[in-house]
Amino acid sequence: MNAEITFHLFLVVISTGLVKGTCPSTCSCSSDSSGSNVNCYSKNLGYIPDLPSDTFYIDLRYNSITEIDVQFCKEMPKLKTLLISNNQISEIPVNTFVDCELLQTIYLHNNKISAIEPFTFMNLHNLRYLYLYNNEISAIESFAFMNLPNLQYLYLHHNKIRSLESNTFINMTNLYELQLQYNDISTIESFSFMNLPSLRYLNLSGNNISHIEENAFGNLTSLSTLQLASNPLNCDCSIYPFWSWLIERAAIGTSAKCSDGKFVISLRSAALEQCNPDTCHCFNGGKCVTMANGLAVCDCIGEWTGELCQESQCISHDCGFGNCYIEPMNGTAQCVCDDTYINYCPERDLDMTSSN
């Protein structure tokens, strides 16, 4: 009796193992010493079938899969390649890729994903390719891509991303190409692209970028191409930090243009230099102050006026026959006629005429 129960249990365990371990009937599989290579390309699948636990390569492209609630690497610890593009997936649960130490390639493009939560792609130490383009991603939380030291290609173009948060693209030391074109990004916040020493191509074309904050791009020592075409960049003083970052990096090719069509790189006018508080020179004790629009202007004292406090108010103040004098309390020009201060001295003082 006991032996029989044990035997039945044994069978149950074996058959469960077999179900997990067999090739799904609609798919084709081959196996070699690295494990199973499963091909379920375009099989009308509405969900992910049970797969052999030694799967290292799975092709699920062109199906109608709506959910991805499998913790792939708990069930298939050898997984290296997951191709699940061209499906109907709308969200990626945060735990989907936990412990995917060996995973190198994820194709998730051409789905309906709308958001990437923090820590969704975290600690995937071997991940090289992450394709998320042509989805409906509107928000990427900070720390969505954490600790991906080997990621080389991150494709996020043709989504609906509205803004880039600080700490989104950070510390990916091998990231080579980042595609973000055709999203709805309007501002690039400080510290959006930090410590990406291998990044060569950054594509931000076709967004709605009008403003790039100071320190948006940090330590991009390998950057050779920064695509910013088709963005309405606002080239008032708020462009100054980006402009000065660019002109110090002549090696970076960029198509960045202002909304009026001028290349950002060609902005060298004195007006832009004046946006820099360090180069705004005020004469005669004037002080540089930064206005709300980012423009640094001179705040003049005493009689001094003009853009750089270079001009005495008395030059333009007509006193008629009197002398110009700067009222010490309020710094405005006054006229001295004889010994009285008035605004204008219409005629020569009689006393002065007689003494001459």
Residue 48 or 132 having the CB closest to ligand NAG: 132
Residue 261 or 328 having the CB closest to ligand NAG: 328
Contact segment (CB under 6 A) with ligand NAG among 29-37, 201-209, 274-282, 313-321 equals: 201-209
Q: Does 215 bind ligand NAG (CB under 6 A)?
A: no
SS3 assignment, position 106: strand
70 burial via Cβ count (<10 Å: 0-12, 13-18, 19+): middle
Residue 6 or 316 having the CB closest to ligand NAG: 316
Residue 24 or 197 having the CB closest to ligand NAG: 197
Residue 58 or 233 having the CB closest to ligand NAG: 233
Residue 74, CA atoms < 13 Å, CB-side half-sphere: 7
Binding mask 219-258 for ligand NAG (x = CB under 6 A): x-----x-x-------------------------------
What DSSP letter does each residue of 251-318 carry, written as one string? T-EE--BBTTS-BGGG---HHHHTTSTTT---STT-EEEE-TTS-EEEE--TTEESTTS-EEHHHH--
Q: Does 208 bind ligand NAG (CB under 6 A)?
A: yes
Contact segment (CB under 6 A) with ligand NAG among 65-73, 198-206, 260-268, 288-296 equals: 198-206
Q: Does 306 bind ligand NAG (CB under 6 A)?
A: no
Tell which positions 158-197 bind ligand NAG, by CB under 6 A: 167, 170-171, 181, 184, 186, 195, 197
Q: Residue 166's closest CA among 138, 137, 195, 134?
A: 195
CB of 169 to ligand NAG, least distance (A): 11
CB of 307 to ligand NAG, least distance (A): 21
Measured CA to CA, the distance from residue 168 to residue 163 in angstroms comes to 10
**Cβ pair 287, 303 in contact under 8 A:** no
Binding-site size for ligand NAG (CB under 6 A) equals 22
CB of 94 to ligand NAG, least distance (A): 17
CB of 296 to ligand NAG, least distance (A): 23
Q: What is the DSSP letter of 336?
A: E
CB of 15 to ligand NAG, least distance (A): 45
Rule CB under 6 A: choose which of 332, 338, 344, 351 binds ligand NAG: 332
Q: Does 207 bind ligand NAG (CB under 6 A)?
A: no
Task: Kindly state the tokens that stand for 119.
Answer: 């820590």
Contact segment (CB under 6 A) with ligand NAG among 6-14, 38-46, 74-82, 322-330 equals: 322-330
SS3 assignment, position 198: coil
Give me the count of residues in the chain: 356
CB of 270 to ligand NAG, least distance (A): 27
Which residues, in sequence order, are CB contacts of 79 under 8 Å at separation 6+? Answer: 55, 56, 58, 72, 73, 100, 102, 103
Strand partners, 341: 336
Q: Does 205 bind ligand NAG (CB under 6 A)?
A: yes
3-state SS of 123-144 is CCCCCCEEECCCCCCCEECCCC
Q: What is the DSSP letter of 48?
A: P
Residue 126 or 225 having the CB closest to ligand NAG: 225
Rule CB under 6 A: choose which of 159, 192, 203, 305 binds ligand NAG: 203
Q: Residue 77's closest CA among 35, 47, 130, 49?
A: 35
Which residues sit at the interface with ligand NAG, rule CB under 6 A? Answer: 167, 170-171, 181, 184, 186, 195, 197, 201, 203, 205-206, 208, 210, 219, 225, 227, 327, 329-330, 332, 334
